[in-house]
Chains A and B, each alone.
Chain A
Amino acid sequence: MIKQKKMLTPKEEFSDLEAQLAGTLKPIAPPVDFVKRLRLRIHMPDRHEITLRLTDWRRLFVVFGGVMSGMLLLVTLARTFYYLVGRKM
């Protein structure tokens, strides 16, 4: 049996396609916390800022000195503790 094809106007023809496009191309819900996560990323310092921080020698020197002093203090305390406990044993 020959199926007679119904003549459609271009508008009618496209209305099917447009309906299918509307059903396929829908706004999607991004992953949970997406906005928050990306906001954090955006507030991360960029390379330029990191370079500026590293070239701040005075701050770098204070941080380095602080870390070294802290380590020296820890070593001294550990040695004192070892000396006191070790002598008793």
Chain B
Amino acid sequence: MTEFEYSEEDVLKSASLGDRDSFGQLYERYAERIFNYIYYRTGNVHDAEDLTARVFQRAMNHIKNYTDRGVPFSAWLYRIAHNLVANWHRDRSRKQEIPLDDLPMLPTKGDHPERNLVRSQEQDALLRIIRTLPPERQSLLILKFVEDMSNAEIGAIMGRSEGAVKSLYHRTLLALRDQLEDQNLNLEGE
């Protein structure tokens, strides 16, 4: 694996000293992940790109203030993204459901291209319901399933303990199940 010659600590150190190339390395390492998070929170490719750029602009401007106090750099980035997405929702007053027409399909990684073009009705319905959840619960699901993070990692981003994340996850699943039952959606088979 040749992707990173320097440890993240070294790269962070030189980036905080104003080295733009080092920051570029961090950017390339995390850009896609932050984009994924924002895309699922906004449901809009263009806004996801715009907000991702703003996350990294803000991170670049404030990287001197970042000090490793047990919170990983990725968690710091996700917190910036979380705040920007919250502002985005506030600005646009988009508390209500976003129509699925505004949710263009982007190909998922690792799947056959033709399979990517089809999103089942159940998946559409589930996405709709996820979008009606409180922001914190949406973030939790995205971090868990899209970013494949552990409860401890999610806790670092959300500023909660591992147990609190576990409990929130359980409550989120219960709420989701109830909403799915209300809508008579069967998830047991395809």
By beta carbon, the residue of chain A nearest B35 is A30
In the complex, the answer to whether A28 meets B31 with C-beta atoms within 8 Å is: no
In the complex, the answer to whether B108 meets A38 with C-beta atoms within 8 Å is: no
User: Which A residues from 53 to 82 make CB contacts under 8 A with B?
Assistant: none
Query: Which chain B residues border A31 with CB–CB below 8 Å?
Result: 45, 49, 106
In the complex, the answer to whether A29 meets B106 with C-beta atoms within 8 Å is: yes
Most B CB atoms within 10 A — which of A17, A21, A43, A46?
A21
Number of A-B contacts (CB under 8 A): 92
Please count how many residues in chain B sit with their CB below 8 Å of the partner chain's CB atoms. 39
Asked if B126 lies at the interface with its beta carbon under 8 angstroms from chain A, I say yes
**SS class, residues of chain A in contact with chain B:** helix
Asked if B27 lies at the interface with its beta carbon under 8 angstroms from chain A, I say yes
**SS class, residues of chain B in contact with chain A:** helix
- Listed A/B pairs (7) with beta-carbon separation below 8 Å: A16-B187, A18-B173, A20-B187, A29-B109, A30-B49, A35-B27, A42-B57
Q: With A and B bound together, what is the CA distance between A41 and B123 in angstroms? A: 34
Asked if B155 lies at the interface with its beta carbon under 8 angstroms from chain A, I say no
In the complex, the answer to whether A38 meets B126 with C-beta atoms within 8 Å is: no
Asked if B107 lies at the interface with its beta carbon under 8 angstroms from chain A, I say yes
Query: Which chain A residues border B130 with CB–CB below 8 Å?
Result: 24-25
